Chains A and B, each alone.
Chain A
Amino acid sequence: MFDTLKSRIFQGNQFIKDIEQAPMREQFRGLPVLKNSNCDNCGRCEKICPTGALEFNPLRIDMGKCTFCGDCKNVCAKNAINFSNFYKLASSSREGLIIDERTTKELYEKTAIEVKNEIVSMFSRSLKLRQVSAGGCNGCELELNATSNVNFDMGRFGIDFVASPRHADGLVITGPVTKNMAYALEDCFLATPNPKIVILCGACAISGGVFQDSSELNREFFEKHPVDLYIPGCPVHPLTFINGVLGYIRGKKKERK
């Protein structure tokens, strides 16, 4: 008993108080910063990119494909590609994930998520999510689990993962959707009561990521059902996920009462 108390006391308080302003280590590879004027069109970055996320002349990165591996930056001799540690990367539209030289973090934060009144009025206080891993490598899954740990403690915002789709207000999909998981994903979607939202988590779910050329995928689900929120990363950082979802269901802090 006393040992348990001692362990508890040694731990102190671990949770991150202000999740929207949480500091991030500078090494984290978040929103890319591109500089065309430095680029001499050598093309190394495009050649090395494992997912075809990058184009040069002019430079563009599709964060829906990007694995944030940093290889493009490493091979660029001209310092035209960099990564900031800005982690609020979620977007409510697929095109929103494609960024170029003009994208700054202020601009991105303002425009990436379109807040809809009906979503805010329905889910802002409570959002129960059912997660479906459809070929996810366990990277995104580990990070989604981490959102509920004592550091990030997503439950305090009323956002939780639930065991049954029947209890859920939405799906969180990870992985490129394998053939063998396609029907289970569809079933799970149908089992979730309306109104519901769909959140794609990670490069795999958004575009197939490093698996996009595989013949073992079946991405028909996305032809049939609209997606509410795209959260880039490989894997998605817990802060990216929580802030993305919060931004979508509550809107920006300043606009909130």
Chain B
Amino acid sequence: MNSNWIKIKNNSKISLLDIPILDISDLRIEIISLCRGSVSVENGCINGFRPVGFFGKDWGRGDTRLFVVLSDDKNGVFYVSSALFKAGIREYDSITPEIPAFHIFEREFFEEFGIKPKDHPWLKPLRKNQDDYKFFEMDGEEIHQVAVGPIHAGVIEPGHFRFMCNGETVYHLEIMLGYQHRGVESLMVQRSSNRLAESICGDSVIAYNLAYSRLMETVKGISVSSKAQLIRLLALEMERAAIHIGDLGAIAGDIAYLMGTSVFGATRTLVINTMLEFSGSRFGRGLITLGGVNFDIDDDKIQRAKKTFDKVEKDVCRMVKTMLKNSSVVSRLEKTGTVSTERAAEIGLVGLAARASGLNTDSRFDFPDKYFNILNAERIHLKGTGDVNARFKIRYKEILQSFSIIGKIFDKLKEYEKEPVNCGYEVLSKENAKDVFAISVVEGWRGEVVHIAMTDGTGRLTRYKIKDPSFNNWYGLALAVRNNGVSDFPLCNKSFNLSYCGCDL
């Protein structure tokens, strides 16, 4: 630690004026020396820091300020620094050749501010219209291309996939996104709300709304009752369990094991219908608000939910065990779509996919809050083989983990029975702190959801930055399908289940 960086904890704020401004070449050297270790792994922990934020902000008179946030997972802190690009400076030396995990961050920064990372190996567009983009091509007698999307066969979000195949085998996959770009970050600056936050990525309603709420509560200095905090964590784990169960069903569907699809599908319904009972929406929309939550959960509901979740847990266990006893199932999952531990660390995978590849990152444990700590949850230990099988099993384990956390939350809620669940309507008009930089990271079911906010000297929100776990992980999918059959692509894709809108924003 030196004066080139300032440390910040999760869910906290620092003064914007305290963030060091370095020369870009110095900042680059700093970043590389801190992140260099991140390509080596020891017992599942990466040795260096990894990027969670690398984004620009218009700094007036044509200047651009680049903010960098690195995560020190071992010590649970973030390092923040910045560099100023004067109007005339349009390029800098790319960091990606040294630290590959920066590749997509630098592409984003280039696309938004036009400042070019020199010698970036693959400086292609990220979100803007890409009609003229020339795909990476391979040559050879037997090589052929398969193009899929933006509209896919199923009912899913749009994205384009271009495969370079030799017969059945995929040599290379290029993923082109941006179709979902709705300009969310600038909408957040114009008029942020819990409802907009929920709609950024509608399969992670709770994770996004929680990150937004915690962030704005930090910026505004609002404190939230213990009861509301616990209900929020409850909802987060329910979301995780529900989506994971649905994904087990989707994986089963892609290997044509329809029994699994039906059972997991029906089981997921039970979880999201409980969410409906808690919040009036199957995905928990409308539950979380600034200052707390909108709905109390009484003992009646808790008892009913406990019963339901017992059944769900049993059904899931029975079905997973049945599946894994079936050799024709296992042979489809094992060694399909593998990302090795080293590769995962190198390209900066996060969340579930990283854990399946043997990295031990989980922001719930790396950056815990007070309420998660009192629940005494335990990390999952799984031999991360990095294939579809590992991503299947880690989902199963996380479902069990979530239900165990949920059980503990139900018990804890009794202690806070008398507390209010929110601070009322007036809290919404509370002023933002002036000149601050705040960060909130929530471990959604896919991985870390990062929200960062900045205000100016009048307390106006001037920048809102979001990073979805899919932002890091799409490239992992592209690597996973190499040397697999092209017909296994749907299976690999489902095993990652990445977000299009979370990446496109």
Q: A residues bordering B, Cβ < 8 Å?
A: 3-4, 6-8, 10-11, 14, 25, 27-29, 44, 48, 50-51, 67-71, 74-75, 83, 131-146, 149-151, 161, 163-165, 175-176, 178-181, 184, 188, 204, 209-211, 213-217, 234-235, 237
Contact = CB atoms under 8 A, between A and B. Distances in A.
Contact of B158 (A145, A184, A214): A184
Contact of B179 (A27, A44, A181, A211): A181
B129 A210 contact: no
Given A69-B195, A70-B294, A178-B181, A138 B201 contact: yes
Contacts of B155: 131, 133, 141, 144-145, 161
Contacts of B279: 27
30 contacts: A7-B259, A8-B259, A10-B315, A27-B276, A27-B279, A27-B280, A44-B425, A67-B199, A68-B285, A74-B289, A136-B157, A137-B200, A137-B501, A138-B202, A138-B499, A139-B202, A139-B203, A142-B246, A144-B155, A151-B265, A175-B180, A176-B182, A181-B179, A184-B179, A211-B182, A211-B183, A214-B184, A216-B183, A234-B199, A235-B202
Interface in B133-182: 150-151, 153-158, 178-182
Contacts of B193: 50, 210
B337 to A, nearest CB: 22
Contacts of B156: 133, 138, 141
A180 B501 CA distance: 12
**Among B156, B321, B325, residue most surrounded by chain A Cβ atoms (within 10 Å):** B156
Contacts of B262: 11, 14, 149-150
Interface in B100-151: 127-129, 150-151
A11 B263 contact: yes
B182 A178 contact: yes
B283 interface: yes
Contacts of B157: 133, 136, 138, 141
Contacts of B266: 11, 14, 149-151
Contacts of A69: 194-195, 198, 285-286
Interface residues on B, range: 35 or more
Contact of B501 (A44, A135, A144): A135
B319 interface: yes
A42 B324 CA distance: 60
B202 A135 contact: no
A137 B319 contact: no
Contact of A139 (B180, B181, B283): B283
Contacts of A216: 181-183
A70 B286 contact: yes
A6 B259 contact: no
B273 interface: yes
A81 B179 CA distance: 37
Contacts of A131: 155
Contacts of A209: 199
A210 B199 contact: yes
B203 A3 contact: no
Interface in B428-467: 428
Given A7-B259, A184-B151, A137 B187 contact: no
Nearest to B325: A3
Contacts of B285: 67-69, 139, 234
A214 B202 contact: no
Given A3-B322, A150-B262, A210-B196, A137 B425 contact: no
B61 interface: no
B270 to A, nearest CB: 10
Interface of B: 127-129, 150-151, 153-158, 178-184, 186-187, 190-191, 193-196, 198-203, 205, 246, 259, 262-263, 265-266, 269, 273, 276-283, 285-286, 289, 294, 315, 318-319, 321-322, 325-326, 425, 428, 499-501
B202 A3 contact: no
B257 to A, nearest CB: 9
B2 to A, nearest CB: 41
Contact of A235 (B151, B283, B318): B283
**Among B150, B153, B191, residue most surrounded by chain A Cβ atoms (within 10 Å):** B150
A211 B286 contact: no
A134 B286 CA distance: 23
B286 A29 contact: yes
B320 to A, nearest CB: 10
Contacts of A68: 280-281, 285-286
B197 to A, nearest CB: 9
Contacts of B273: 25
A137 B199 contact: yes
A44 B280 CA distance: 21
A50 B179 contact: no
Contacts of A142: 202-203, 246, 283
Contacts of B128: 180
Given A27-B276, A48-B428, A71-B286, A211 B199 contact: yes
B310 to A, nearest CB: 13
Contacts of B326: 4
A14 to B, nearest CB: 5
A163 B199 CA distance: 26
A214 B182 contact: yes
B150 A184 contact: yes
B187 to A, nearest CB: 6
Given A132-B158, A216-B181, 6 more contacts: A70-B280, A139-B199, A139-B203, A144-B155, A210-B199, A215-B183
Contacts of B179: 134-135, 178, 180-181, 184
B202 A140 contact: yes
Contacts of A178: 179-182
Nearest to A30: B280
Contacts of B158: 132-134, 181, 184
**Among B180, B276, B294, residue most surrounded by chain A Cβ atoms (within 10 Å):** B180
A117 B475 CA distance: 51
Given A138-B203, A188-B151, A235-B202, A149 B265 contact: yes
Nearest to A74: B294
A6 B318 CA distance: 9
Contacts of A74: 289, 294, 425
